[in-house]
Amino acid sequence: MPAYAGPWWKGAVIYQIYPRSFMDSNNDGIGDLPGITARLDHVASLGVDAVWISPFFTSPMHDFGYDVADFCGVDPIFGNLDDFDHLIAKAHHFGIKVIIDQVYSHSSDLHPWFAESRSSRDNAKADWYVWADPKIDGSPPNNWQSIFGGPAWAWDARRQQYYLHNFLIQQPDLNLHNPAVQDALLETSRFWLDRGVDGFRIDAVLHMMHDPKLTDNPPSLNNHKLRTRGHDFQENIYNQGHPAIIDFLKRLRRLTDEYDARFTVAEVGGTAPEDFTKACAAGSTRLHSAYNFDFLYADEFTPDLICSSLAKWPDDGQTGWPTWAFENHDAPRAISRWAKPEHRHDFAVMKMALLCALRGNIILYQGEELGLTQVDIPFEQVRDPEALRNWPLTLFRDGARTPMPWAAQEENAGFGKGETWLPQGPNHAALAVDRQNADPQSLLQITRILIDLRKAHPALRLGAVAECNICGGLLELIRECEGERIAGWFNMSSQPAQIEASKIAEGRVIFAHGEIADGMLTGYGVRLQSLA
């Protein structure tokens, strides 16, 4: 494998771990930090560069860890700080970097900062959250709506004011317009940097700062989208995306630059303007990358979607470096969204090959390497607060958060013993790690091959997009870097696709799935070739 002299994170393959559902070490039905540590050998076997661990901080778990009550604490259901230190040490032993979430836009309403802030209008932290007086009739200060449904304002009798919550009522928005709040948040990040973390995924960047004038949002002009919440009826302009967010990101970058080889990526969100997403990672003084949502909620998976998304992030020396994912803990499993059951294996191989061929960093969500499907959770077992509030028109996030299957014949497919916090998928035991380890044609084994190819070929890891061509359901993608050219053909349709014989006659095949017969590439077929 050629030596790679660039920053470790550029072109990296990052594996997302959702702690509640990865591995349960103490049989309480919930995954934990020791469970992650025990299964890092699996992660290492994939050949990934890093893990991103979703929140494990002290929390009442109204939003399963994204409502943080102590930014420097580990919630007891996940373990303790010693467990985290052991996880870091073992990951580093395997050569795996560790990225964790940082949730700056809001806290839990049980955080001591909020307890003090709500106690009066003149305490030391009175201005650490977003407070506003009611209108003369007692109604909220403006028309902003929460992402989880209902008004984005909650009345607090102690202060006789409303507080802003862009998410759950238990998640009051921090006031990052206040420099003291920024200072405090950066100190919590320093705590984790000192503990050895290699980077941060910054959650909900778009919602870090609001318009201080509290201007009403205008009505949405998109009358064709599905509307399940009041939030969907507005152009969400003033409750999010304030320009001063970029200045805070610069402060964060200066902090991480005090440490060696750290990485930062912005999770901006699906409603963010393209320019704002790019601004988060532009130049050398902001974050290293921005996490794109182009694919996570797409109704269709098409060559046009791939080419248009890549075109937004040209290799022009000015535009930042993107990070891509087809799945995560907030989006339905891609294999269930985009493929019929009879095509799922071939589709999953094509999708994995395409992910590994994209320019940017790529994120693999736990279980994606197994081809896990979306699970239909009965209403009585739903845990997701968003789903409960907006049933049945909801994203069904629980269905992508079910426990990992490790051993097909064991209780709960090896996740742990006893009742699990969410049920196992009914077909997931058949996709368990132990079964796929024993099958050289499994998606798991193919995923390892594809990740190795990405790491072995600079054109795949770092190269520019020389061409992105569309011919019906066939995508032709050519990447190049320092004289190396890799061409990829991806049939993104279940039907055979015409492929030019003159093109596939060139170079050396480095990966193939499906057959080419009479100039036709089989449905969901793939061919990668080294041209130089």
Among this protein's residues, is 203 annotated catalytic?
A: yes
pLDDT in tens, 228-262: 788 889 999 999 999 999 999 999 999 999 999 99
CB atoms within 10 A of CB 309: 18
Per the residue annotation, which of 83, 203, 476, 480 is the catalytic one? 203
What are 136-157's pLDDT values in tens digits? Answer: 999 999 999 999 889 999 999 9
Q: Facing residues of 17 across strands?
A: 53
CA dist., res. 84 & res. 74, Å (int): 8
Q: Which residues contact 321 (CB under 8 A, 6 or more apart)?
A: 10, 281, 288, 289, 313, 360, 361
pLDDT higher than threshold 70 for residue 395: no
Angle at 104 between CA 206 and CA 211, to 5 degrees: 45
Residue 17, classed as helix, strand or coil, is: strand
CA distance 387 to 397: 7
pLDDT at 396: 77
3-state secondary structure 432-488: CHHHHHCCCCCHHHHHHHHHHHHHHCHHHHCCEEEEEEEECCEEEEEEEECCEEEEE
Predicted confidence band of residue 1 (pLDDT cuts 50, 70, 90)? very low
* pLDDT at residue 272, as a whole number: 74
Q: How do residues 41-98 score in pLDDT, each as one tens digit?
A: 999 999 999 999 999 999 999 999 999 999 999 999 999 999 999 999 999 999 999 9
For the purposes of burial, counting CB atoms within 10 Å of the CB of 300, is it exposed (0-12), middle (13-18) or buried (19 or more)? exposed
Task: Look at the block and give the residue holding tokens 């891509």.
Answer: 324
Tokens of 124: 């030391």
Percentage of the chain modeled with pLDDT above 90: 88
Q: pLDDT digit string (tens) for 12-38?
A: 999 999 999 999 999 999 999 999 999
Band of pLDDT at residue 4, cut at 50, 70 and 90 = low
Task: Please say if 500 is a catalytic residue.
Answer: no
User: Distances in Å between the alpha carbon of 362 and those of 16, 77, 98, 112, 330?
Assistant: 10, 29, 15, 37, 17
Q: What is the pLDDT of residues 319-377, one digit of tens each?
A: 999 999 999 999 999 999 999 999 999 999 999 999 999 999 999 999 999 999 999 99
Contact between 257 and 287 (Cβ < 8 Å): no
Q: State pLDDT tens for residues 186-215.
A: 999 999 999 999 999 999 999 999 999 999
pTM, two decimals, is: 0.96
- Assess whether pLDDT exceeds 70 at residue 2: no
Separation CA 325–CA 386 (nearest Å) = 22
Q: Which is catalytic among the residues 122, 137, 194, 258?
A: 258
**Residue 400 reports pLDDT greater than 50:** yes
Q: Which residue segments constitute the domains of the chain, with CATH numbers given?
A: 13-107+179-453 (3.20.20.80), 462-530 (2.60.40.1180)
Query: Among 99-113, 224-238, 491-505, whose mean pLDDT is lowest?
Result: 224-238
Average pLDDT over the chain reads 95
Instruction: Give 504's pLDDT tier (boundaries 50, 70, 90).
Output: confident
C-alpha 301/C-alpha 32 separation (Å) is 34
Angle at 278 between CA 272 and CA 279, to 5 degrees: 95
